[in-house]
Structure 1
Amino acid sequence: MLDFLSNIAITVSGRWYLLTALIWLAVLVSLFIYRRTNPLVSSPLRILLMILRGSALVTLLLALFETQVTSSWQEDVPPLIAVAIDQSASMATVDQKGPRIEQLARALRQDLPQVWTGSMTQKYFAFDSRLRPLRPSELDSLRPSGDVTDITSALETIHSTLREKNLQAILLFTDGNYTRGGHPSRYAAESGVPIFCVGVGSTQPPPDLSITRVQANSFAYSGEETPIQITVTGTDLPTVRAAVQLIENDQVIASTTLQAAGSPFEQTVTLSWTAGGEGRHKLRVRVSGQAEELAQDNNQRTVYVDVLKSRLLITLLAGCVTPEISFITNAIKENLRYRLQTLVQRTDGRLYDRDGQPAALDSLDHTDILFAVNYPTSLTPDEMIHQVEKSWTTFSRPILFMDGAETDWKKLARWQRWLAIRTETLQTQPFSATVSLTQEGSQHPIMQIPGSGPVSASAWNLLPPIWVHHRIQGVRPGAQVLAMAAGDASRPDVQQPLIVVFSDGMVNSAALLASSLWRWALMMKGINNEDELYMVFFNNLIRWLQMEKKKELVNLSLSKSSYAFGEPIPIQISAYDVRFNPVANASVSLLMEKQGTSMTLSAAPAGNGLYEATFQPESPGEYEIKAVVQKDGALLGTATSLFSVGAYNEELSVRICQRPLLQGLAAVSGGRYVSADSLYSLRGQLPAQSLSRVRSRRLDLWNHGALLLFILACLIAEWWLRKWKGMV
């Protein structure tokens, strides 16, 4: 390595003396070639030709020896101060010191210029949920409106962006009310950069009445009363008397009076709401404002409740008492959407409830789903057969039929048009059988068991044998066979449909052509297998049975009902055909409406009947979304939902400047806390040390395109001059 003036270094891959000798040789060759020319040319031209030839050869040698030139110099970097300004909604509130936006503007416009000294440079940033750079000209036009304050993320981003630029300190303008990102002091203690916190706002709570919490079930049942709990807090108010109201569709549907003798206080009141029709309902909770309040933007909240059809009544008709009844009951009772009415036939042919009371035949008119388990039997009276038939004819109830040893298939034939199977039987000799999924069944939602793989085959193969009592001639045209019953070792050649489903698009029907399915639950637990296949299977089956045409074939899912402004909204749509098979390659459009404005976007396929989209709202407000699913130009179904963006701002739940938090943040980082009206006291307090550092730059001559161009240029110029003069 050779050093020139201690700031330029030249490095070659070979030996210096060899390169030097070759360079001298190249120069001498160039001089020798052009010492005499034919024809004779002027001396200046000969010198130029020597220079061109010599330059080309020398440069080529430098490239062959992989020459590198490194230059270094000393650089003085002035001190940099980052100014981070909180632009969340809480910075726009009003307190005892007046509007915070005015406090902030006064500090930035009047006091901040007095803080700068010497050679300090500044970079300005605004932050709420994310950090963005600001131009100095924008400081007079700040409009705080963010739904989220993430102080930690802002500090991390500033530090990672400016740490190579002599960042000396961060000047943080905020009220300290962070709502995301965790306690900022945890990061500040490790950053190594002092943070000077400028507290904006009063540390005294203003006169304020606010709704701080609304508790309601995320779903309710149509026609049933649902409690809504509202928590109201008050600060710096005299005796309070306020109306707390529950509002739907701009109508007050429930109200109560809240009274408090002085403040601070926190009270919780409960209002009742009776859910109407199915779907997502928007409820607004409001507490009347007080004259002393400086602002009333936190006096109301919006809550969304999904209203489901009133609890589905499942009536189980059993031909006799069997263990199956208890296991079905246990599988269903965990789901609050269902009520189970069990009616068991006795030897007199009548049905009795669990209390041993005779069941009224007209109770079937109120049933949503009918289970016929080992029913009807030879003891079942024709009157009961007729009553079930009449109920189905009038109300088109979905049905699950489970075969049993006592089932009378001749009487069952009267219900043929509602069943998924044909009621003609070949024999009544029972046999033991295992479950074998069909190809169609492996894809059907009823048979999908979470955690058992996409086809669930491994879970079904582990099940113990069950009993098949009747062999059937076939299934109904259009029915789907989801599983087959395969005979055991004594009857290996016997197979028949075991689980069959049918849907005409209006009513669904299913058949389980075996008994002792309870063994799936009992015996699996006996071998310490905790697989909940039995429970999951029955709940899948019930869900499929109660699906209504076009109404639930398309489902629209949102992760929640309220989003912060700026937060992306993931949307998922599931689409099924009338046989509840996932629909692929459908056209899914989403219509967003908000206060008279609308926009449309498309959802992309995600596989297995799922479609996904992400919506980025351009403004806060209340939105209605409608999903329209079409397949081959035909409407498959629609689904709607409601959600809000920025409807409730957690920023407004705390009205004071968090001075203790900001003091702690400044202390652990080596900075200092001041209030916005004392900002001028930081003059001379900010670190302002310039940074001297050595910078270097390396040029690889051997790997530089310009080097090749230079060699070619020299050789081409030499060739052209020789040709011009006719030299040989």
Structure 2
Amino acid sequence: MRFTYFWQLWQVILALAMVIGITSFVYIRLKSPVSTRVRAILICLRILAATILLVCLLEPVLVQQIDITPPNNLLILADRSKSMTIRDVSYNDEKVDRMLPVNHLLFSQDSDFVKQLNDRFTTHIYQFDQNLERITGKTLEIHTGTGLTDITKSIQTAINEWRGQAISGIVLITDGEHNASKFDVDQLVDLKVPIYPIGVGNPNPQNDLGIIRIESDPVSYLDHETTIKVTIRNNGYTGAKIRLMLKQNDRIIGIETTTLANQIDQIATFTVIPKEEGMLQYLVSLPVLDNEITTENNQKKFSLKIVRSQLRVLYVDGLPRWDYAFLKRVLEKDPNIEATCLVLSLAKASSRIQPKFPRSEAELLAYDVLIIGDIKANELTSNQQQLIKIFVAEHSKSIVFLGGKNSLGKKGLGRSEMADLLPIVSPLTGCRSWDQDFSLRLTTQGKFHPIMQLGKTSELNDTIWQDLPPLSRRISGFQLRGGATTLAELHHPTLTEPIIVFQPYGLGKSVLIAAEGLWNWGFGVWGFKDEDNSYPRFWGQAIRWLASQSSAKQIHIIADKSTYLIGEEIKATIYTYDKTYQPFNTANLKLDVTLPNNKVFQIRTDQDNSVPGRYTAKFLADKEGKYTLKASGTFDGVSIGEDKITVFSEQQVTEFENPRLNRRLLTSLATQTNGIYFPIEKARSLPDQIEDQKEPVFATEEKDLWDSPIILILAAGLLGSEWFLRKWKGLV
């Protein structure tokens, strides 16, 4: 306790002495016939009241320490992913799925596990697979989901919910089958929270035969052989002879027989010849062998995009430069492209026998795509230039311009009869060229354009484009035409220069690559050199897209993937354009979805304000099979067309690729985060092992004692008692 107004001790004693002296003097000298006992009581009452008032004048304050230590939180994360359905846990002398002992540990009345934890901590229970979900008090059981397992993301999300509060640890109940992303233990160590894994499942290899992965080209060609590689893994069936079956629409189209090797991955190869175009789904299945721990991984579906083959490409260049040599090699190596390549300077010199440029419209129309290299305007006759314009504008064909010093210079194609075919407007003096290495950056439109998809996922695609080798020369100084769309630009912090540009022209398409040195991509992407095919893939899908008729539509719909797992969201992106192929924001869109059971329903589309003319939609894939998405639109009551795509949904099998408890991962996680690993059979001894991480926190609280109704009542009571006694004795 302290006083607001501090007096010296002698001052306090003097004041009290004066109160006692004056009060005693007054009552002792009182001449009324009052007994000594009554006088003493009156003196005491007066002195006590005066003392209380004196103390109040000093304003005493009570100072005390208040314990404000926050609750000591403990987070419990229970795995509910698909692999928790595997029946490899011994429980009451029988094999049960992994989820049963987890539910018994957390919710059974026979288990005091959570009660022991609640005695020391404030517990919060979550369930997770790819996503984390808080469990309410009404939950009596966790049901397995359909997703993958993401341990890292789930732990990070749970800790973020309690950021700034004391967390003594995380109890992680799982089989350790992390498969939604690359497991990075360093991210969890950096959280500085002890993790106490409880392993569920059998850590020993179990009898199992399963499909690990299926590999095939993302695009296959009609009436051409396509190779499909199936990687299988077995444990406990070495020497067994099995048959793999490949099916399409429940029809067997391939059978392969193989003998299982000793616990190693094996590859079985199918060769198919597609007979129809479109997105087709196939099924690879393995036989079910005796005593398999799970049969969920005995079959796997995959999709192939089948397109028309043998596209004819005419490539014309001015000189036999590096770009010509590399592109010619790629075109000629592609079995689905029939390429005709010619160098105009060699034709004039008659130094070798080579093809001639088509002399008639009919000869030129035999080709699907025309590639014009670095040539000057006068290297093509007026008649040839007119044929090219008709080829694109009237016959839905496509042209690619490879920009260079000649083609975009002062005497280049920008001043020719087919200048309006270019998606740019060249200055009178020609464009400028810069001989310095540079990299490309995808624009927002480029991230979704079919030409620019070099990776299977958007993340991988971004990484590949960032790591592509630099180009050696860029062309700049031009202006884009009104209907042009930039797909890739100069990667620079301040400059914005289009490099890959597209525009519709009449019924056809025109693409400009305002750079030289694309052949550098033929040496591989940094970080992916052993498996990279970015250069041939870019040209292959560019030619495929240019030869298609999709870009003439005013509505274009794409999905972020071609195959989804049950329980995943199907995300569709719709682009709308006006008649000049400019982004169009005021269309009335409708998106119809045909489910695998042939029922049709509509879903809402939301406008993406960050990109003109782009709309998004998403819905849950809750059934296995084919989904058809058809987008249509109107403006002022008039149809602007429609577009549709097909995607597939399949059962989750990744969870069963390694069907045993990953004890090594969980033990390592516990060690590096200062936790302890327990198998679920010994989980009830865990509560005593969790250390209390909280530190006591105290706050100083001050309370005014003088400013209290009780003090006022006490002082008034003493003075009132004194007055009443005096009144009673006739002293008033």
TM-score computed with the length of structure 1 as normaliser: 0.60
Matches within 5 A, 1:422-437: 434=430
Alignment partner of 2:241: what SS?
Answer: strand
Partner of 1:186: 186
Question: For each residue in 1:451-492, what CA deviation from the matched residue of structure 2 results, as whole angstroms up to 9, or x when unmatched?
Answer: 299xx99679xxxxxxxxxxxxxxxxxxxxx9xxxxxxxxxx
Alignment partner of 1:450: what SS?
Answer: strand
Partner of 1:85: 78
**Distance in 1, Cα, partners of 2:594 & 2:569:** 17
Is the 8 Å Cα contact of residues 605 and 616 (structure 2) preserved in structure 1? yes
Question: For each residue in 1:171-226, what CA deviation from the matched residue of structure 2 results, as whole angstroms up to 9, or x when unmatched?
Answer: 22111111246546434544444332211111122211111111111222333222
Change (3 A) 1:238 1:607: closer
Question: For each residue in 1:588-629, what CA deviation from the matched residue of structure 2 results, as whole angstroms up to 9, or x when unmatched?
Answer: 333233333434221415577641314141636443322224
1:450 aligns with 2:479: no
Q: Which amino acid aligns with 2:198?
A: V
**Distance in 2, Cα, partners of 1:367 & 1:90:** 53
Q: Which amino acid aligns with 1:434?
A: G
Change (3 A) 1:637 1:253: farther
| Cα deviation, residue 233, structure 1 | 0.5
**Distance in 2, Cα, partners of 1:500 & 1:148:** 41
Task: List alignment gaps of at least 5 residues for structure 2.
Answer: 8-60, 403-416, 421-427, 433-475, 521-535, 704-732
Question: For each residue in 1:432-451, what CA deviation from the matched residue of structure 2 results, as whole angstroms up to 9, or x when unmatched?
Answer: 96369999953333787622
| Cα deviation, residue 231, structure 1 | 0.3
Partner of 1:615: 618
**Distance in 2, Cα, partners of 1:586 & 1:566:** 31
**Distance in 1, Cα, partners of 2:345 & 2:191:** 78
Alignment partner of 1:434: what SS?
Answer: coil
* 273-282 or 657-666, which deviates more: 273-282
Alignment partner of 2:75: what SS?
Answer: strand
Is the 8 Å Cα contact of residues 342 and 356 (structure 2) preserved in structure 1? no
Partner of 2:202: 202
Alignment partner of 1:291: what SS?
Answer: coil
**Distance in 1, Cα, partners of 2:684 & 2:252:** 52
Change (3 A) 1:364 1:142: same
Change (3 A) 1:636 1:308: farther
Change (3 A) 1:229 1:363: farther
Change (3 A) 1:600 1:459: closer
**Distance in 1, Cα, partners of 2:135 & 2:276:** 49
Partner of 1:638: 642
Alignment partner of 1:626: what SS?
Answer: strand
| Cα deviation, residue 421, structure 1 | 10
Is the 8 Å Cα contact of residues 544 and 580 (structure 1) preserved in structure 2? no
Q: Which amino acid aligns with 2:620?
A: P
**Distance in 2, Cα, partners of 1:618 & 1:356:** 52
Q: Which amino acid aligns with 1:626?
A: K
Matches within 5 A, 1:97-112: 97=90, 98=95, 99-108=97-106, 109=108, 112=111
**Distance in 1, Cα, partners of 2:188 & 2:322:** 60
Partner of 2:670: 666
Alignment partner of 1:302: what SS?
Answer: strand
Alignment partner of 1:227: what SS?
Answer: strand
| Cα deviation, residue 345, structure 1 | 10
**Distance in 2, Cα, partners of 1:76 & 1:396:** 74
Partner of 2:319: 323
**Distance in 1, Cα, partners of 2:648 & 2:258:** 27
Alignment partner of 2:430: what SS?
Answer: strand
Is the 8 Å Cα contact of residues 211 and 301 (structure 1) preserved in structure 2? yes
Question: For each residue in 1:622-677, what CA deviation from the matched residue of structure 2 results, as whole angstroms up to 9, or x when unmatched?
Answer: 43322224344333333322334564342221111111222222233333222112
**Distance in 2, Cα, partners of 1:389 & 1:450:** 27
Alignment partner of 1:285: what SS?
Answer: strand
Partner of 1:574: 575
Partner of 2:367: 367
Task: List alignment gaps of at least 5 residues for structure 1.
Answer: 5-9, 18-67, 403-418, 423-431, 461-481, 483-498, 526-534, 700-728
**Distance in 1, Cα, partners of 2:505 & 2:327:** 23
Is the 8 Å Cα contact of residues 222 and 277 (structure 2) preserved in structure 1? yes
Is the 8 Å Cα contact of residues 592 and 603 (structure 2) preserved in structure 1? yes
Is the 8 Å Cα contact of residues 206 and 292 (structure 2) preserved in structure 1? yes
Change (3 A) 1:238 1:354: same
Change (3 A) 1:312 1:106: same
Matches within 5 A, 1:119-134: 119-121=119-121, 122-134=123-135
Matches within 5 A, 1:399-548: 434=430, 441-445=480-484, 450-451=489-490, 502-503=505-506, 505=507, 546=547, 548=549
Alignment partner of 1:119: what SS?
Answer: helix
Partner of 2:287: 288
Q: Which amino acid aligns with 1:236?
A: G
Partner of 2:596: 595
Is the 8 Å Cα contact of residues 584 and 607 (structure 1) preserved in structure 2? no
Question: For each residue in 1:378-424, what CA deviation from the matched residue of structure 2 results, as whole angstroms up to 9, or x when unmatched?
Answer: 9x9xxx9xx9999999988668999xxxxxxxxxxxxxxxx9799xx
Partner of 1:270: 269
Q: Which amino acid aligns with 1:682?
A: L
Alignment partner of 1:156: what SS?
Answer: helix
**Distance in 1, Cα, partners of 2:486 & 2:675:** 62
Change (3 A) 1:74 1:618: farther
Partner of 2:154: 154
Aligned-pair RMSD on alpha carbons? 5.5
1:604 to 593, 607, 615: 607
Partner of 1:585: 586
Partner of 2:718: none
Question: For each residue in 1:332-366, what CA deviation from the matched residue of structure 2 results, as whole angstroms up to 9, or x when unmatched?
Answer: 765768542147999999x9996679999997775
Partner of 2:525: none
**Distance in 2, Cα, partners of 1:607 & 1:332:** 39
Matches within 5 A, 1:670-689: 670-682=674-686, 684-687=688-691
1:230 aligns with 2:230: yes
Identical residues among aligned pairs (%): 20
Alignment partner of 1:223: what SS?
Answer: coil
1:314 aligns with 2:318: no
Is the 8 Å Cα contact of residues 115 and 684 (structure 1) preserved in structure 2? no
Change (3 A) 1:293 1:366: farther
| Cα deviation, residue 230, structure 1 | 0.8
Q: Which amino acid aligns with 1:260?
A: L
Is the 8 Å Cα contact of residues 224 and 275 (structure 1) preserved in structure 2? yes
Change (3 A) 1:590 1:16: farther
Question: For each residue in 1:662-698, what CA deviation from the matched residue of structure 2 results, as whole angstroms up to 9, or x when unmatched?
Answer: 2222233333222112223336334468864325789
**Distance in 2, Cα, partners of 1:186 & 1:283:** 39
| Cα deviation, residue 91, structure 1 | 1.2
Alignment partner of 2:573: what SS?
Answer: strand
Alignment partner of 1:341: what SS?
Answer: strand
Q: Which amino acid aligns with 1:250?
A: D
Question: For each residue in 1:119-161, what CA deviation from the matched residue of structure 2 results, as whole angstroms up to 9, or x when unmatched?
Answer: 334321212223222135424x211114222222333344444
| Cα deviation, residue 3, structure 1 | 5.2
Alignment partner of 2:178: what SS?
Answer: coil
